[in-house]
């Protein structure tokens, strides 16, 4: 059985004492803030899949480059029908945009107040993306008003680092789209690799891909959404595919962050 990637106590900020945090932040480490959601992920994956996955990848990246991982923002912006099935599914607990922006902005400002200058908004929920941009923009404005101009923020979605080679491993019969991959092959495979105890393997769905019109109507027409909430088949998921994703994206993300923040990041 696969097990989660081990994590040093000096990687997770939540596991540190304030003495340890104060000592670590003096070294100007990269601080990764995972953001996710509590969102339906079909009959086979837990509601916090979008928290487990970015935390897992962020901790592995931090271990590789001497970074720290802040406690995750576990609630995210509203699930959208075309990328998450929709906010109407029971158990999907979402934040309004203004609340999410304010929360992320506040956490960024607090990290900076305590010495962090290199911050990564490490997202696991596609719907958060533009609101993280706003939070970063407002936090940088706040810091500039305080005379701090040395803060740098990077926003990323870990799935964007999956290269064509790994994509071919995941989808040998063709790639649907990241939007339709909700609770499907990629997320199910990584969960099978890192948290197989939370995957209801006998309930992995084989739904045909959802077919949405190229426009949105509000209230949204839920008829094109498969009743399971899974937007394309997850049948071909495997722990081996999940391992392949992590083996490729973790070093690639670490290398990209080193390049973006400069040679003193380790």
The reply to whether 1 falls in a domain is no
This prediction's pTM: 0.94
* 64 tagged catalytic: no
pLDDT at 6 over 60: no
Task: Give the pLDDT score at 266.
Answer: 52
The reply to whether 2 falls in a domain is no
Q: Mean pLDDT across the stretch 223-234?
A: 95
- Mean per-residue pLDDT of the chain: 94
For 208-228, write each residue's pLDDT tens digit: 999 999 999 999 999 999 999
We report the CATH number of the domain holding residue 198 as: 3.40.50.10310
* 167 tagged catalytic: no
45: nearest Cα among 230, 233, 207: 230
pLDDT at 4 over 70: no
The reply to whether 27 falls in a domain is yes
User: Which phi and psi (to 5°) does residue 30 adopt?
Assistant: -75, 130
CA dist 100 and 41 (Å) reads 21
The reply to whether 7 falls in a domain is no
The reply to whether 247 falls in a domain is yes
The reply to whether 6 falls in a domain is no
**Residue 95 belongs to what domain range?**
13-265
For the chain, the domain total comes to 1
Task: Give the pLDDT score at 207.
Answer: 86
The reply to whether 54 falls in a domain is yes
CB burial string 179-204: b at 16+ within 10 A, e below:
ebbbbbbbbbbbbbbbbeeebeeeeb
**List 44, 59, 182, 193, catalytic entry:** 182
**List 59, 123, 187, 207, catalytic entry:** 187
The reply to whether 203 falls in a domain is yes
Categorize the per-residue pLDDT at 202 as very low, low, confident or very high, splitting at 50, 70 and 90: very high
pLDDT at 7 over 50: no
């Amino acid at each position: 059985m696969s097990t989660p990637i081990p994590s040093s106590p000096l990687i997770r900020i939540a596991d540190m004492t304030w003495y340890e945090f104060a000592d670590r932040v003096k070294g100007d480490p990269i601080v990764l803030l995972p953001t996710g959601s509590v969102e339906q992920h079909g009959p086979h994956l837990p509601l916090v899949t979008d928290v487990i996955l970015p935390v897992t990848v962020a901790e592995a990246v931090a271990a590789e480059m001497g970074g720290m991982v802040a406690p995750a923002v576990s609630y995210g912006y509203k699930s959208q029908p075309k990328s998450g099935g929709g906010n109407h599914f029971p158990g999907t607990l979402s934040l309004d945009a203004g609340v999410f922006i304010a929360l992320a902005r506040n956490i960024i400002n607090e990290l900076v107040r305590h010495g962090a200058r290199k911050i990564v908004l490490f997202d696991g929920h596609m719907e958060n993306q533009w609101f993280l941009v706003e939070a970063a923009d407002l936090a940088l404005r706040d810091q500039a008003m305080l005379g701090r101009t040395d803060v740098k923020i990077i926003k990323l979605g870990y799935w964007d680092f999956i290269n064509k080679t790994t994509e071919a491993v995941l989808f040998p019969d063709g790639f649907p789209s990241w939007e339709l991959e909700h609770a499907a092959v990629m997320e199910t495979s990584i969960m099978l690799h890192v948290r197989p105890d939370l995957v209801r393997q006998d309930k992995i769905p084989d739904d045909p891909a959802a077919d949405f019109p190229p426009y949105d109507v509000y209230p949204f027409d839920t008829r094109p959404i498969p009743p399971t909430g899974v937007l394309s088949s997850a049948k071909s998921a495997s722990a081996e595919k999940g391992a392949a994703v992590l083996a490729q994206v973790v070093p690639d993300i670490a290398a990209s962050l080193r390049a973006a923040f400069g040679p003193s990041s380790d």
